[in-house]
Structure 1
Amino acid sequence: MSIQIPTILLVGVFHISMEPDLVNKQKNNIEQVMNTLQTFQPTKIAVEKPYLIEEELDRNYQKYKRGDLLPGYDEVEQFGFPLASYFDHPRLYPVDDIVDMSSPSLNQVFEWAKEHQPDLFQEIIGVQSRLKEMENHSTLIDKLHYLNNPAYIAELQRVYMKLARVGDRQHQIGVRWLKQWHERDLAISANIARLVESDDRLLVIIGSDHLHLLHRFLSDSGDYHMVDSFDYLPR
């Protein structure tokens, strides 16, 4: 007899507060995303929020369900609240973790590379430029497509691996920043693992930068059935 394991769908999103016009002008695209994500039929929805705001998240979700909250420029409120409400979920689950990412900061890593390793700095800028070219899409649906595209995710991972080379044997500044980033994603994957049960279908709405490591950590455990986000995004 086969053992039932949880099914997990990771959907990479962007921070809507940085691009509010996509919400203001493309309501129909948001509705299309909602319609296709509904076909996954999640039993739980996890979001990129820390546990420290769990009560606030619960309050705002209940207000939304009562019709007392207009979703703001926030990916959780734009995507998570409508989906959870459609399935009459009692709540959403925050799975982010609070990790100090300032010692060193990413800006300090770039400044070191710019000053001490100009050739490596130009390599990093080159990959970032290619990422920007891939991001050159006009619609919200197109944006979600490239954020979840394996080619884009692989190119983004190239940036991280180049950051590991920033510094020297005495000053592992790039490695130190990446340790913070890996700690955060490892903590998120642990929070997800503690959340799911054997018959769950868990939808995780997460910043696309986290997709590579989260998929790797969750897949490596062998405890989950990971599904392709492209199967649940509008064509």
Structure 2
Amino acid sequence: MKYFYIILKLSIVYVAILLVSCSKNIYRKEKKLPQVAVVGMLHFVSKNNTINQNFTDVKDIRRQQEIKDIVQSLKVYNPTKIAVERPYKSENELNNNYRNYLNGSYKLTAEETDQIAFRLAKELNHKRLFLVHSPVQYAFDSAVVFAKKNGQSYLIDSITKNAKQLAKEYDQIAEKKTIKEAIYYLNTHKAIDKNHYSYILLSQIGNKQNKIGAEAVGDWYKSNIKIFENIRQLIDSNSERVLVIYGQGHLKILNQLIKDTPELELIMINKYLK
């Protein structure tokens, strides 16, 4: 009988804990959180990448229609703010060109900010766009030199091979199918993890005395945290739906930071690119 009461008490405690846990989860689901979605890109105008894709032609009639289709898909997400990475150096420059585009005095370049962000913002009657870029400063070139001098060239070869595979897969989809399908691929977990793997390889360059690769990747993370903070500061209310257009290599870290922030809800953009 004694053991029966002990088991009964433990059961009551367990049920109470379970109910409290469930109520917290229900509350979190019911509580409206600001949403953030990031579109990972291989830049239409490739610059400063370890490996560049071959496909960059977005201005012929067929590709222009495909971009318009991307814009319509992203419009369903209905972002309240659109944030971009490149190629503009200031929000003044960015929004001057956007305003000129609205009044018909600016011709869109091949950059994804112009091709996608400007068009989408116009469709949604946005008055402005937001620049969330933060300079990326990490000693990749120095790590390469160290690797070649210290018998670790195989790591550089692996990084290059991995990057080429990602670019090749993107090229094949873009050439044989559509730009939207190629961007959808870039935003799959498989492609995100593949790009991030290069940084794991980079972190292995070095020795006990000089962790040059790990330090470089640490600086890469620092840059991404600054980018995330720029994104987070755009949030003004729980009804925000921020869309960020950024280089695909940043996705692993940015998505993780958004997901791990209790005050934000991460939206996987492929939900809208199907």
Regarding TM over 0.5, the answer is: yes
Does the Cα contact within 8 Å between 1:50 and 1:98 map onto a contact in 2? no
Does the Cα contact within 8 Å between 2:184 and 2:270 map onto a contact in 1? yes
1:133–1:85 Cα change, 3 Å = closer
Q: Secondary structure at the match of 1:17?
A: coil
Residue 12 (str. 1) matches residue 40 (str. 2): yes
1:174–1:149 Cα change, 3 Å = same
**What number of residue pairs does the alignment pair up?**
231
Q: Secondary structure at the match of 1:100?
A: coil
CA shift at 1:169, angstroms? 2.2
Which whole-Å CA distance do the structure 2 matches of 1:175 and 1:184 have between them?
14
Matches within 5 A, 1:52-201: 53-101=90-138, 104=139, 106-116=140-150, 117-135=152-170, 136-137=172-173, 138=175, 139-196=178-235, 197-201=237-241
Q: Secondary structure at the match of 2:165?
A: helix
Cα deviation code 1:40-74 (max 9, x no counterpart): 11111111149951111111111011111111121
Runs of 4+ in 1 over 6 A off after TM superposition: none
Which whole-Å CA distance do the structure 1 matches of 2:162 and 2:168 have between them?
10
Q: Secondary structure at the match of 1:96?
A: coil
1:90–1:132 Cα change, 3 Å = closer
CA shift at 1:113, angstroms? 2.1
CA shift at 1:128, angstroms? 3.1
Residue 225 (str. 1) matches residue 265 (str. 2): yes
TM-score normalised per structure 1:
0.90
Which whole-Å CA distance do the structure 2 matches of 1:213 and 1:150 have between them?
12
Cα deviation code 1:148-186 (max 9, x no counterpart): 111011111111111001011222221222122111110
Q: Secondary structure at the match of 2:118?
A: helix
Which whole-Å CA distance do the structure 2 matches of 1:159 and 1:41 have between them?
33
- Structure with the bigger RCO (C-alpha within 8 Å, sep 6+) is 1
Cα deviation code 1:171-220 (max 9, x no counterpart): 22212221221111101111111111211111111111111000011111
Which whole-Å CA distance do the structure 1 matches of 2:121 and 2:45 have between them?
21
Structure 2, gaps ≥5 residues long:
1-26, 47-54
Larger Rg: 2
Does the Cα contact within 8 Å between 1:6 and 1:198 map onto a contact in 2? yes
Which whole-Å CA distance do the structure 1 matches of 2:181 and 2:142 have between them?
32
Percent pairwise identity: 29
Which whole-Å CA distance do the structure 2 matches of 1:125 and 1:51 have between them?
28
Which whole-Å CA distance do the structure 2 matches of 1:59 and 1:132 have between them?
33
TM-score normalised per structure 2:
0.78
Structure 1, gaps ≥5 residues long:
none
CA shift at 1:95, angstroms? 0.7
Tell me how large the CA RMSD over aligned residues is: 2.0
1:68–1:20 Cα change, 3 Å = farther
1:50–1:142 Cα change, 3 Å = closer
Which whole-Å CA distance do the structure 2 matches of 1:118 and 1:100 have between them?
22
